[in-house]
Amino acid sequence: MIRLKNVFWQRARKQEKPVLSDLSFSVPQGGFRWLLGPSGAGKTSLLNLLHIESLPARGDLEILGKPVSADTPRATLVRLRQRIGMVHQNYRLMPGLSVVDNVALPLRLQHRPEDEIHDEVHAILKWVGLGERIGVPAANLSGGEQQRTAIARAIVHRPGLILADEPTNALEEPQAHKLLDLFDELSTMGTTVLVATHNEALIRRLPRPSLYLERGRLVREGE
Amino acid sequence: MALPFSGRKDGLSLSEALPDRSLFILVAMMSFLAALTLTGATGARALSARWSGGAAQLLTIQVTAPDHVPDGAGSTKNATQKTRADLVVDALAALPPGTQVHRLNKEELAHLLAPWLGDANNSALPLPAVIEVRLPAGTDSPPTLEQTLNAQVPGTVVEHNAEWSSRLRALADSLLACAALALAAVGGIAALITALATRSGLSSRRDIIRILHGLGATDSYIAGRFASRTGALAFGGGLLGTVLAMAPLALLFRMAAPFAATSLQTATAAMPSWDTLPRLLPTDLLIGLAGLPVVAAFIGWFTTQVMVRLWLRGMP
């Protein structure tokens, strides 16, 4: 689950205006939330904060049942990050690595056995339609293929929390629908899912509660 | 279909982030300097030990006209007449128990004087007797020894090593301290070079590290990957620098060997042959030289560990 109570976040300590202001909401385990709002509303900043790429300046943040603050031991933060799957807007793939090595990274960093990694990665790449592209370097992939690789990497280790920033903007509609169905299925299996999007067609296809941000504040929450 | 897994691939590409040449060559140069300094330190330590030990207990006594029989020397009947050298040797029996007295024989004396006189056996010059006296540890020669000997055998010269050995020991200790400082400076420079290389590598891999960090890589993992790379490079550089230093070291040792004699009997002006040189190199120096690449690798590894971990502290 995710829980925020009066959370503020700003890029630099001396910066006067926080990017995220007084955010309070919670998403239960297995919950699915759309994260909506105009460009610059703070959606990406919120997702990065929930991915523990930075820490809140103020307020209480709880991710997967663990409090996250400057006092949280680094080992705990590492373990939490290992339980989060993040799809970045710019994919953040390792350009020099092949598709298979990119997707295998989260598992290898958790020291999973290579045969287990082999099976998991093979299955997920087949599912995202990259079964024939496994040896291609990420730098040589099309935008859609990079996005699918990033999605595969985000879910291959079966995370407890999936954060996705515009995960379908480079995908064809059928692939986008297929991905949404997967996220929905994962949430029914207990994975908490938070998806930032501008795509209203997707939201109409999968009506789920949403969080609406404006200028770093939560202005609407609900269906 | 088998997946083409190929070992540990995490995208850091450290062979590009930390190029071989610069760090490798700089560490090789540092190790070369360290090897030379280590040799100097070993030499200074050996001299210090020698001058604070055996050499300080050594007296050298010269007796001119050694084979001359003084008037009234020896008994008048049934006894051999004693030469000036014999009288001095007899007088030395009064020194503390355990004192070793050795008069250099003709061959030893000729060997000792060969650098100055050539073949001293055929020299027309009258040669003095040289008597080497080694006092037991912790004892001093009587301050009036020279006067006592001169009273019996006028013209006897006593050279007290102890008089100058303390100064030489102080000099050797100073050299040893300088060598230690030089070694520390070389180590510090090596650490600084590694730190700069690591910082450059971190800058060029900032985004990749952020991705790995986001995927749950521990500080130990990232620091370990960088440190393994710099440690390996430093080991290679250290090995090369040490091997390159062996040639000048061997040359120096060969030239210094004649001065390393522990007594007048073993002193020689001739340089040892190249094939016997390895046996003359002190064991502690060889161990120190063998340890240099390991120390270089440790400096590289440790410095990188610290640098990367400090850098990672900028991320939660």
Looking at A153-162, B39-48, B49-58, B205-214, which range is the least confident one? B49-58
Per-residue confidence at B250, pLDDT binned at 50, 70, 90?
confident
Rounded distance between C-alpha atoms, residue B157 and residue B155, angstroms: 6
Per-residue confidence at B272, pLDDT binned at 50, 70, 90?
low
> For residues A170 and A22, which has the higher predicted lDDT (pLDDT)?
A22
| Whether residue B5 has pLDDT greater than 50 | no
- When CB atoms are compared, the residue of A55, A95, A109 closest to B216 is A109
Q: What is the mean pLDDT of residues B134-157?
A: 83
B179 and B305 share one domain:
yes
Residues of chain B above pLDDT 70, percent: 77
Inspect the interface and report whether the beta carbons of A54 and B211 lie closer than 8 Å.
Answer: no
| Whether residue B80 has pLDDT greater than 70 | no
How confident is the model at residue A100, as a pLDDT?
92
Q: Does residue B3 lie within any of the structural domains? A: no
Distances in Å between the Cα of B45 and the Cα atoms of B170, B284, B290 are 11, 11, 18
Q: Does residue B184 lie within any of the structural domains? A: yes
Q: What is the mean pLDDT of chain B?
A: 80
Chain B residues within 8 A of A108 when measuring between CB atoms: 8, 10
B32 and B80 share one domain:
no
Chain A residues within 8 A of B3 when measuring between CB atoms: 100, 118, 121-122, 134
B170 and B93 share one domain:
no
Q: Which of B5, B210, B222, B315 has the highest number of chain A CBs within 10 A, making it the mutation to test binding with A?
A: B5
Residue of B nearest to A49 (CA): B316
How confident is the model at residue B136, as a pLDDT?
82
Q: What is the domain range of residue B298?
A: 14-49+164-312
Inspect the interface and report whether the beta carbons of A105 and B213 lie closer than 8 Å.
Answer: no
Q: Which of A48, A61, A101, A121 has the highest number of chain B CBs within 10 A, making it the mutation to test binding with B?
A: A101
| Whether residue A118 has pLDDT greater than 80 | yes
Rounded distance between C-alpha atoms, residue B134 and residue B122, angstroms: 29
> For residues A87 and B97, which has the higher predicted lDDT (pLDDT)?
A87
Question: Locate tokens 């030499």: which residue?
Answer: B43
Q: Which domains does chain A have, with CATH numbers?
A: 2-83+159-222 (3.40.50.300), 94-153 (no CATH)
- For the segment B221-236, what is each residue's pLDDT rounded down to a tens digit? 999 988 998 899 999 9
How confident is the model at residue B270, as a pLDDT?
60
Looking at A157-171, B47-61, B297-311, which range is the least confident one? B47-61
Position A207, amino acid: P
Rounded to a whole number, what is the distance in Å from the CA of B218 to chain A's nearest CA? 6
B171 and B294 share one domain:
yes
Q: Does residue B300 lie within any of the structural domains? A: yes
Q: Does residue B157 lie within any of the structural domains? A: yes
Q: How many domains does chain B have?
A: 2
How confident is the model at residue B2, as a pLDDT?
40
| Whether residue B247 has pLDDT greater than 90 | no
Q: Does residue B202 lie within any of the structural domains? A: yes
B188 and B63 share one domain:
no
User: C-alpha angle B125/B131/B132, rounded to 5°?
Assistant: 130
How confident is the model at residue B3, as a pLDDT?
42
B210 and B290 share one domain:
yes
- What six digits make up the tokens of A209? 């509660």
Residues of chain B above pLDDT 90, percent: 22
Inspect the interface and report whether the beta carbons of A77 and B212 lie closer than 8 Å.
Answer: no
Q: Does residue B4 lie within any of the structural domains? A: no
Q: What is the mean pLDDT of residues B49-54?
A: 67
Rounded distance between C-alpha atoms, residue A19 and residue A198, angstroms: 19
B282 and B150 share one domain:
no
B158 and B171 share one domain:
no
Q: Does residue B5 lie within any of the structural domains? A: no
- When CB atoms are compared, the residue of B9, B215, B216 closest to A101 is B9
Boundary residue ending a domain (B162, B178, B210) = B162
| Whether residue A188 has pLDDT greater than 50 | yes
- When CB atoms are compared, the residue of A74, A93, A122 closest to B219 is A74
In chain B, which residues touch A (CB < 8 A)?
A: 2-6, 8-11, 13, 207-208, 210-219, 221, 315-316
What is the interface size between A and B, counted as CB pairs within 8 Å?
A: 78
Rounded to a whole number, what is the distance in Å from the CA of B198 to chain A's nearest CA? 20
Rounded distance between C-alpha atoms, residue B313 and residue B316, angstroms: 7
Q: Does residue B7 lie within any of the structural domains? A: no
B128 and B266 share one domain:
no
Distances in Å between the Cα of B64 and the Cα atoms of A64, B61, B84, B278 are 99, 10, 8, 41
Look up the pTM and report it: 0.73
Chain B residues within 8 A of A110 when measuring between CB atoms: 216
| Whether residue B268 has pLDDT greater than 60 | no
B179 and B286 share one domain:
yes
How confident is the model at residue B258, as a pLDDT?
62
Per-residue confidence at B185, pLDDT binned at 50, 70, 90?
very high
Boundary residue ending a domain (B140, B162, B184) = B162
- For the segment A15-42, what is each residue's pLDDT rounded down to a tens digit? 668 889 999 999 999 999 999 999 889 9
B244 and B258 share one domain:
yes
| Whether residue B128 has pLDDT greater than 90 | no
> Residue A89, SS3?
coil
B104 and B234 share one domain:
no
In the DSSP assignment, the letter for residue A56 is -
How confident is the model at residue B79, as a pLDDT?
53
Per-residue confidence at A60, pLDDT binned at 50, 70, 90?
very high
- What six digits make up the tokens of B132? 């080497």
Q: What is the mean pLDDT of chain A?
A: 90
| Whether residue A212 has pLDDT greater than 70 | yes
Rounded distance between C-alpha atoms, residue B177 and residue B163, angstroms: 23
- When CB atoms are compared, the residue of A79, A81, A108 closest to B8 is A108
| Whether residue B303 has pLDDT greater than 90 | yes
Rounded distance between C-alpha atoms, residue A3 and residue A24, angstroms: 7
Boundary residue ending a domain (B99, B130, B162) = B162
Inspect the interface and report whether the beta carbons of A81 and B216 lie closer than 8 Å.
Answer: yes
Inspect the interface and report whether the beta carbons of A94 and B218 lie closer than 8 Å.
Answer: no
